[in-house]
Structure 1
Amino acid sequence: MEQAATKVTILVAAHKPYSMPDDSIYRPILVGAAQHANVPNEHWLKDETGRNISQKNAHYNELTALYWAKYNLKDQEVIGLAHYRRFLGRKMSHQYTALLTQSDIEQGLAQTDVLLPKARNYWIETQAKHYLNAHAKRPLEVLSAVITKHYPRYQAAFEQVQASKKAHLFNMSIMRQADFQAYTDFMFGVLELVDDQLDYAQLTGEDQRALGFLGERLMDVWLIANEKRYLEYPLVTLEKTNWLNKGWHFLRRHFSNSQNKKTHF
């Protein structure tokens, strides 16, 4: 008897019309749909249906798609998140042809627990320093206090991540449903407590999106504390990165006390 195919859904978070992969495992989802009058395409999913936090997209970024998946994709065996411009691939590329296929994903998860983008290494500064060079201090302080008080089992892992010069960013991952539920239980449990304590009127610019940025830091905390195995994959980026410009802003944040810093990185 032929074995049934694994049910795999990789959500592709987008906030505007954009070309999408043809592979059916990649499902575009409009994030912040509660604030958008029209969906770009009738076949797109929307993060405002079922149980959701779509109205909080301005603070959670693409994590509103993960929250939607947590409660509305329980029939799927494997859940993942990509961005409309950024995917996991077999090689670095700017083409959809390099994206991970269902077969690639099944082979990866046969060897490990989580599939992730290659870690970014900042070399000259820790993750804590890197965050504070680019963002307001208050959200990270609240995050640290929440973990210490409410999630003490994760405190050592959080401190390890803060002191590390590497991080798995973008809130991107692919994992089995059971791990996905455990990971999102932790992440949204933490972020909801942080959300309750933040005064967004005191945050400007990109820092309005603090919960999305903090969520990026929680992936490695969860992996370490739960001793999860992972494999790293290159990024397929649909738009080319100006690495000279990115490097300039990174060094400027590191060495300058200027308040006029480019936060999004």
Structure 2
Amino acid sequence: MSVDTHESMQQIRIAVAAHKSYRMPMDDMYLPVHVGKALHPEINLGKRFVADNSGENISFLNNYYSELTALYWIWKNDNTKYKGLVHYRRHFETANVAVRVTRHDRFEKIVNEKEVAELFTDTNIILPRRRNYVIETVRSHYAHTFPVEQLDETREIIASNTKEYIEAFDDVMSGTTAHMFNMMIMRKDKLDEYCGWLFPILFELQHRIDPSIYDSFNARYPGRISEMLLDVWLKTNGYSYRELPVISTEPVNWAKKGSAFLAAKFIGKKYESSF
């Protein structure tokens, strides 16, 4: 299944990656995508969901690529003018302070199509606000929390295949901030360019480091590595962007996240599960 822009007249379409039934934003620009459908054909999330095993897809890699199978699907199968990706539990939040303060329902704080369209009058790329690690660099944080050879092998691939990106890669890795979460909304040509650069790197990385050697949590490393590559692509090409806050649809246990971050930094305890 592909989505025909000419029939729907939709100008902005954001894939919402989900592997289970979950409340979705009601705005028409959001397209729920059932990720990993090829691995779980018995699960049916309903008519509103598009399955990521339709059209040209990498649904069978969902155990490794996580939400990126939805990004790949919308890249290959949707021709909307502006396209993007969010996660069923993590969305772009409106920049409207009054709405953020007065609305109690988290879903009412998610950015709507009108606001996104207004942002696209002076940008081609919308990203989540940068994450600041403060006491860690991007590379050291990964080294403290996951197998660092995954990051080192990524550098080797970039140095060999797209060497014009290596300076930006090193700059991003030595910095303390990054645009994380695999969240983005871009004009179609920019998303095409980004995905056309990103996925060959990840496929080669998967070829060099077989994800099946890890447990299910660590096998998802291609999806994690990709989070750090977005800024490499942006920096090399000099692309400007606008940022929006990020909102979680569920309460975040900041104490647990903070303690895990500090334990990784100071006693070398690797992450063992998502937060």
Alpha-carbon deviation of 1:18?
A: 0.4
Asked whether the equivalents of residues 213 and 219 of structure 2 are also in contact (C-alpha less than 8 Å), the reply is no
Question: 1:97 is matched by which residue type in structure 2?
Answer: E
- 2:61 pairs with 1:51: no
Structure 2 match to 1:24: 28
Structure 2 match to 1:143: 154
- Equivalent residues in 2 for 1:30-49 (5 A)? 30-36=34-40, 37-49=42-54
Structure 2 match to 1:86: 90
d(CA) in 2 for partners of 1:188 and 1:169?
17
Q: TM-score, normalised by structure 2?
A: 0.90
Asked whether the equivalents of residues 85 and 237 of structure 1 are also in contact (C-alpha less than 8 Å), the reply is yes
d(CA) in 2 for partners of 1:218 and 1:81?
15
Match of 1:80, SS state, is strand
Where structure 1 has 5 or more consecutive residues not aligned to the other structure, the ranges are none
- The alignment yields a C-alpha RMSD, in angstroms, of 1.7
Match of 2:27, SS state, is coil
Q: 2:121 aligns with which of 110, 114, 123?
A: 110
Q: TM-score, normalised by structure 1?
A: 0.93
Identical amino acids, percent of aligned pairs: 33
Where structure 2 has 5 or more consecutive residues not aligned to the other structure, the ranges are 1-7
- Equivalent residues in 2 for 1:154-173 (5 A)? 154-173=165-184
Hey, which bits of structure 1, 4+ residues long, moved more than 6 A? none
Match of 1:129, SS state, is helix
Residues 154 and 41 of structure 1: is their aligned pair in 2 closer, same or farther, counting only changes over 3 Å?
A: same
Alpha-carbon deviation of 1:257?
A: 2.8
Structure 2 match to 1:125: 136
Structure 1 match to 2:245: 234
- Number of aligned residue pairs: 260
Alpha-carbon deviation of 1:264?
A: 3.3
